[in-house]
Chain A
Amino acid sequence: MITAGVDLGTRYVKVCVVKDGRILGADVRELAGEFRSVVRASERAALEQAGLFGFQVRKKAVTGFGAAAAGRALSRSGRILDEAACAARAVATLVPGARTVIDGGALFVRSAALSPEGHVLDRAVTEKCAAGSGRFLEMIASSLCVPLEEVSDVAAAAARPYRMSNSCAVFAESEVVSRVNQGVPGPELLAGILVAIAEKALTLANRSETGPPVVVVGGLGHIPAFTRTLGEVLGHQVSVIPMDPQLAAAYGAALLAGQGAAERVSGRAGRGP
C-alpha cells in the first residue's frame, strides 16, 4: 500500500511517499509565503519523484506544529498525528530497540522515551522559549558568518567550548557579538552554543526516564558536531536516524497512516512526571 506523510513544521514542510516501509519520494522545502501552496508544491514534488499520481496514495497523515491549520486548509489531508508518535515510529522502524528520541527542530526540541516495542512512554517539549532550538543555532551561526553546513567543521577546530552565560537566543546573540569583539575565537563560541543546545536537550530528556540507545531526528541531526556533543553531555552513545533526519517525522507519519487505530492511541497526549 502506498501512503504519504506530511510534516508541517515551523520552518519547513516535509513530505514522504512510502510503499511497504520504503521511501519512494520525498521533499523538504522552506515554508515561505502562503503555506497551503507551499505544502501542495511539496506534495507534488514528492509524488513526482516517486513517479506516482496523487490518487495512487491510499492513506495520508499530517503531523507537525502546523498540522491542525493544514488539516483545516487542505482537503483530503488525512489523519492528524502527534509529532512524537511519528518520530518514534520512524526511529523504531529503522533503529529497533532505541529507547530515546531527541527531535531537534527549528523552534522546538522534543525528547521522547520509548518502550522496547517502540511506543512513546513519555515525552517532553520546550514550551517557553527557543533556547536550544535549531533557530537559535541558525541565529548564532549567521552572526558568526558561518553557514549551517559548516558548523560542524568550524566547531571541531575549537580548543574548548566557550561557556555561554545567557540561554535566551537574543541575549546569546549579543553575547556572541561582544565576545567576538573581545577576541574569543569563533570556533570556541560555536562549540559553546552546541553545548548549550545539548544541555537543553539533556534537561528535557531528564524529565522522563530515558536511556540508551539515543537516536537524533530533526534538522539538528544534520549537524554531526551536535550529535557528538549530545553524546558527551548525555553520557550515552547517540546516533542519528539512518535516513535524512529532517524527514523522520514525515516518514513516521506515512508509516502510521497505513496502520490501524492501535498505533494512534500510543501517540496520544503524554503524561507529566
Chain B
Amino acid sequence: MIFAGIDVGSLTAKAVLLRDGRVIAWHVEPVQATPAQSAGRVLEAALAKARVRRADLARVCATGYGRHELPFADLERSEISCHGLGTFTSNPAVRSVIDIGGQDCKVVVLDAAGLVDDFAMNDKCAAGTGRTLELLARTLGLPLGELGPRALRSRRALPVSNKCSIFMELDVMQWMHQGRRVEDIARGITASVARRVAALAGKVTLRPGVCISGGVSKNAAVVRELEAALGVRFVPLSHDPQVMGALGAACFARLEHGRARQEDRRVQEAGDPSEPMAAGPADAAPACPGCTGGSP
C-alpha cells in the first residue's frame, strides 16, 4: 500500500512516497505558478522515481502554504503537525523540531507519539528564514550553496542586524563597500539568522532530542551557530531534512487510512448499518484502497 505526502512551500514543493512505512521515493523542486501545478509536478516526479502509478496511491495528504488548493489531496494537515510527525518518523528520538523553511521558521515540541505539544512560529517578519539567506547570498554574489561553506572558513563574524532581511542587506552592503572578507560577512549572516531562530526557540520549552529540518538545515554554518546558541547537538535524521513536512504528510495519509479501515471493520463487525456511528465510516469508505487518487 502506497501513501503520498505533498508539501507545497513558499519556495519549493516536496513529495514523499511511503510503502509499508518506508520511504520509497522523494522529490524536491522549485514552486510553479500555482500550488496545484507545483504539487502535480512534484508528485509525478516522485511517482516516476518509484515506478508506480497515480492509481496505486491509497491516500494523498497535503501540507504547506499551498495545501488548501490541491484538488487531488484526500486530506490536509498543518505544516506544524507534519514536520513533527515527519521528523519523529525519521528519528523516534526527536522531541523538538526546529524547521527553517523558505519563508517560515517554526519550533515544534512533540510528545512521545510524535504529535504536537507546543510550537512557536514567525508570522510577521521574514528575518531568519531561507529567503533571508537567499537574498543575502545574492547580495554577496555567492550561490546559495556556497554561503555555508564560506562562512565556516571565517574565524570572526562581522556584526549583521537580525531585525529585518532588508536591513541585513544594508549591513552586508556596507561591509562589502569597506572591502571586508566575504567569509567574515557570510559568517555574520549565518550567525544573525541563527540568533533570530534561537530567539524564536526561546518562546517554547525545548525537550531533549532536538533536530533541525527544512532547507536551511543544509547550511552547515547556520546549523553550527544554532547548536552553539541553543547549547545542544542536533540529533540526526535518516532522510533529507527538506522533505520532513512531506514525509509527515505521507504518515498522516497512512494513519488516516488505518483509522478509516478500522472503523470500516468495526461497522462490519457490528453488522448494523443503521447505527449512528455509521455515517463517518461510510463517508470514508469510498477512499479505500484501489479506488482513490483519480478523483479530482
Contacts and interface: CB of A to CB of B under 8 A. Distances in A.
A129 B164 contact: yes
Nearest to A180: B33
Given A33-B177, A69-B174, A181-B33, A168 B167 contact: no
Contacts of B124: 166-168, 171
Nearest to B173: A31
A129 B10 contact: no
Contacts of A34: 177, 179
Interface residues of A, number: 24
Interface in A182-207: 182
B33 A107 contact: no
A130 B163 CA distance: 9
Contacts of A168: 124-126, 164
A33 B176 CA distance: 8
B179 A174 contact: no
B163 A133 contact: no
Contacts of B132: 170
B205 interface: no
Given A168-B126, A171-B126, A174-B10, A130 B166 contact: yes
A10 interface: yes
A113 interface: no
Nearest to B33: A181
B179 A135 contact: no
A182 B34 CA distance: 8
Contact of A135 (B103, B125, B127, B166): B166
B131 interface: yes
A151 interface: no
A75 B131 CA distance: 39
B242 interface: no
Given A10-B170, A129-B125, A169 B163 contact: no
A35 B177 contact: yes
Contact of A130 (B34, B164, B177, B179): B164
Nearest to B131: A170
A128 interface: yes
Contacts of B129: 170
Interface string B1-38: 00000000010000000000000000000000110000
A34 B177 CA distance: 5
A217 to B, nearest CB: 20
A136 interface: yes
A167 B103 CA distance: 14
A204 B232 CA distance: 41
A244 B224 CA distance: 49
Nearest to A10: B170
Interface in B126-147: 126-127, 129, 131-132, 135
21 contacts: A31-B177, A33-B177, A35-B177, A66-B174, A69-B174, A107-B170, A127-B163, A128-B164, A129-B167, A133-B166, A167-B124, A168-B124, A168-B126, A169-B126, A169-B165, A170-B103, A170-B165, A170-B166, A171-B126, A174-B103, A182-B34
Interface of B: 10, 33-34, 103, 124-127, 129, 131-132, 135, 163-167, 170, 173-174, 177, 179
4 tightest Cβ-Cβ pairs between the two chains A and B = A170-B126, A130-B166, A129-B164, A35-B177
Given A166-B124, A167-B124, A171-B125, 12 more contacts: A31-B173, A34-B177, A130-B166, A135-B166, A168-B164, A170-B103, A170-B126, A170-B165, A170-B166, A181-B33, A181-B34, A182-B34
